[in-house]
């Protein structure tokens, strides 16, 4: 006996096997990311006022990556439609675009966005020393307007060795614009375009610092959730790209010649996964980049 319904539909369910399989898999993926987003909500609700950071990520780059993922979702569905219309050539091109989009997304994420964060520095000031750094924080004006106070000074760390060497007593920071010009009302809300650290150098004594790290996962629960969720999402993108490359290689041509519907089914299943990855990003993007 052979396993039935691998390509054709079972009459009473109207579905072939892998279609059910992928949807069940996606259901479990929904629960996986559900757990992560649930943790995000829990931690964000638990965070004291003003501690959850805003505007630390590069919005234009994030927007571009979102657009790339959406584009790849369109091309993968077009690739599937091409197969349904038995146009292998078009399928091949659409698939290539999808793969390239996935690779671009990953490269932007791993080679540009993440390293840029790893290279950024932030120092949380002890509550009793906040007054001392008023010139970088501008808290008097914020308190007047009823806005949450700033407790962190960020920028480019000039003396990297200060992180490990206990003999160095202070951090020298090329200040971010918000700390370079804290009384400017334009700094109260995040910027759309990324503004690099300024030339203005601030000096912060280690004794006044509660905690100072680069923008690593350990920096805050915000970055912890950001790196975990985008990392896991990135793994999904990577998995999708690997499978798509397999579907695009000459093996797929041979399968197409043997049974085009079988290849179309495979592409449909992988496409469903890819759309799901896109769907997760649709929520990740505003939650981390914008809000």
Binders of another protein in range 196-215 (CB under 8 A): 211, 213
> What is the rounded distance in angstroms from the CA atom of residue 222 to the CA atom of residue 39?
11
Residue 5 in the binding site for another protein (CB under 8 A): yes
> What is the rounded distance in angstroms from the CA atom of residue 154 to the CA atom of residue 159?
14
CB-based contact 36:229 (threshold 8 Å): yes
Of residues 60-79, which lie at the interface with another protein (CB under 8 A)?
Answer: 63, 66-67, 70-71, 73-74, 77-78
Sheet holding 152-157, edge to edge: 201-205, 170-175, 152-157, 121-125, 209-214
Range in contact with another protein (rule: CB under 8 A) among 23-31, 105-113, 160-168, 200-208: 23-31
What is the SS3 assignment for 169?
Answer: coil
* CA 283 to the chain's CA centroid: 10
Q: Which of 50, 61, 84, 100 binds another protein (CB under 8 A)?
A: 84
Residue 282 in the binding site for another protein (CB under 8 A): yes
Q: How many CA atoms lie within 13 A of 62 on its CB side?
A: 21
CB of 280 to another protein, least distance (A): 9
Shortest CA distance to 129 belongs to which of 35, 212, 54, 64?
212
CB of 135 to another protein, least distance (A): 25
Residue 127 in the binding site for another protein (CB under 8 A): no
Place of tokens 């896991």: 232
Residue 104 in the binding site for another protein (CB under 8 A): no
Range in contact with another protein (rule: CB under 8 A) among 95-103, 105-113, 157-165, 268-276: 268-276
Of residues 223-252, which lie at the interface with another protein (CB under 8 A)?
Answer: 224-225, 227-228, 232
Range in contact with another protein (rule: CB under 8 A) among 44-52, 98-106, 151-159, 173-181: 44-52
């Amino acid at each position: 006996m052979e396993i039935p319904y691998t390509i054709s539909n079972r009459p009473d369910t109207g579905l072939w096997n892998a279609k059910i399989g992928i949807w069940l898999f996606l259901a479990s993926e929904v629960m996986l990311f559900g757990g992560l987003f649930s943790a995000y909500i829990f931690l964000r609700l638990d965070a004291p006022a003003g501690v959850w950071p805003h505007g630390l990520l590069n919005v234009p780059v994030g927007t571009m990556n979102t657009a790339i993922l959406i584009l790849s979702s369109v091309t993968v569905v077009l690739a599937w439609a091409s197969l349904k219309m038995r146009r292998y050539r078009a399928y091949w091109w659409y698939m290539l675009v999808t793969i390239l989009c996935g690779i671009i997304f990953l490269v932007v994420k791993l080679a540009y966005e993440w390293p840029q964060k790893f290279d950024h520095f932030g120092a949380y000031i002890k509550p009793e020393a906040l007054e001392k750094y008023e010139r970088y924080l501008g808290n008097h004006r914020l308190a007047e307007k009823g806005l949450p106070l700033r407790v962190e000074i960020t920028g480019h760390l000039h003396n990297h060795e200060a992180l490990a060497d206990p003999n160095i007593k202070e951090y020298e920071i090329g200040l971010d614009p918000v700390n370079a010009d804290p009384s400017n009302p334009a700094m109260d809300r995040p910027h759309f375009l990324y503004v690099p650290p300024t030339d203005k150098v601030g000096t912060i004594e280690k004794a006044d610092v509660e905690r100072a790290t680069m923008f690593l996962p350990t920096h805050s629960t915000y970055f912890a959730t950001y790196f975990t969720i985008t990392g896991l999402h990135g793994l999904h993108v990577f998995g999708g790209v690997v499978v798509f490359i397999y579907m695009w290689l000459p093996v797929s041509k041979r399968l197409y010649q043997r049974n085009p519907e079988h290849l179309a089914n495979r592409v449909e299943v992988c496409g469903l996964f890819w759309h799901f990855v896109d769907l997760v990003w649709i929520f990740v993007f505003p939650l981390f980049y914008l809000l």
